[in-house]
Structure 1
Amino acid sequence: MSDTNSIGLHEASASQLAEKLNHLLANYQIFYMNVRGYHWNIKGNDFFELHVKFEEFYTDLLTKIDEVAERILTLGHKPVHAYSDYAKLSHIQEDKDVSDGKTCVKGVLKGFQTLIELQREVLSLASDADDEGTASQVSDYIREQEKTVWMLNAYLGR
């Protein structure tokens, strides 16, 4: 009996990666809802600019949520799919009743920083497991989100 899964990865490594990806998925889900809330509730002078930008962010987050869940399935495991699980697994906390533009942007910045940190952990595990598919996926996310962090910091005058 082989100790590899259907895509040729060692089952123990695939299991460890799937667990870490489920943590990432939980963070993406909570962050998605935070950004959705910023989009809905933003007020003030930057409303038009930020309302559109937050929609751009949450639309991209939704795509990545699906891609992360599908990667977990590709590894032969089951993605978590209940908000109670997301709340338990996520480092990103719910951000409620925020409408000030600067506070919302800081929330987005903090969320992306958390995702980048978690994705670096996934990247390290994927590299150790010779899992090019997962490594490539999160590497692309990191590159894109690092640029977003830079831009958000520039927006905040940092």
Structure 2
Amino acid sequence: MTNKLNQIGLDKQASSDLADKLNELLANYQIFYMNARGFHWNIKGEKFFELHAKFEELYNDSLIKIDEIAERILTLGFTPLHTYGDYTELSKIKAAKNISSGPVAVQAILDGYEVLLPLERELLEMSGESSDEGTNALMSDYIREQEKLIWMYSAYLNR
């Protein structure tokens, strides 16, 4: 009889499904990160200093999350995607090019969260069903943080 558990004691098939979904989240986060980086570099206008700093916070936070997601995939026993071709093919977030307007950039961030948050909620549910506390805790933290950021970026846009 073959062992149905991976090296950390979780069901191998459930872990494979989680790793696939985590790779989808990773791909989307990579594009989200690059968009935030571009906004940081290219922002212009009245709120330059405020948004320049905010976008730097955002891309630094995204970089940490990218590493955490990739390491979680490895912990589950699988390989994280690691080419931009894979990221652009899988990501629902599209590259934002040559955006220098504050409101347009902030809306693009909010649009990115409209992709990330449902993926994270799906992963939260999947990880709960498979007793994967590590993935569950990550997603719970991400969701809580991003709900607050959505409120703040929406307030910036007067919504």
Return the TM-score normalized by structure 2.
Answer: 0.98
Long gaps (5+) in structure 1:
none
Could you tell me how far 1:45 is from its partner in structure 2?
A: 0.4
Could you tell me how far 1:12 is from its partner in structure 2?
A: 0.2
Q: What is residue 24 of structure 1 aligned with on the other side?
A: 25
Q: What is residue 67 of structure 2 aligned with on the other side?
A: 66
Q: What is residue 88 of structure 2 aligned with on the other side?
A: 87
Q: SS of the residue aligned with 1:4?
A: coil
Matched, 1:128 2:119: no
Could you tell me how far 1:113 is from its partner in structure 2?
A: 2.5
Corresponding pairs, count: 158
Structure 2 CA distance for aligned equivalents of residues 97 and 118 of structure 1:
27
Structure 1 segments of 4 or more deviating over 3 A? none
Matched, 1:113 2:90: no
Could you tell me how far 1:91 is from its partner in structure 2?
A: 0.6
What are the Cα deviations for residues 24-83 of structure 1, in whole angstroms up to 9, with x where unaligned? 000000000000000000010010110000000000000000000000000000000000
**Contact residue 113 and residue 149 of structure 1 kept, 8 A:** no
Structure 2 CA distance for aligned equivalents of residues 61 and 76 of structure 1:
23
Structure 1 CA distance for aligned equivalents of residues 116 and 59 of structure 2:
14
Q: What is residue 153 of structure 1 aligned with on the other side?
A: 154
Please report the RMSD computed on the Cα atoms of aligned residues, expressed in angstroms: 0.6
Q: What is residue 140 of structure 1 aligned with on the other side?
A: 141
The farther-off stretch of 113-122 and 15-24 is: 113-122
Long gaps (5+) in structure 2:
none
Structure 1 CA distance for aligned equivalents of residues 110 and 56 of structure 2:
15
Could you tell me how far 1:117 is from its partner in structure 2?
A: 1.0
What are the Cα deviations for residues 88-143 of structure 1, in whole angstroms up to 9, with x where unaligned? 11010011010001000111111122211110011111111111110111110000
Structure 2 CA distance for aligned equivalents of residues 100 and 154 of structure 1:
17
Return the TM-score normalized by structure 1.
Answer: 0.98
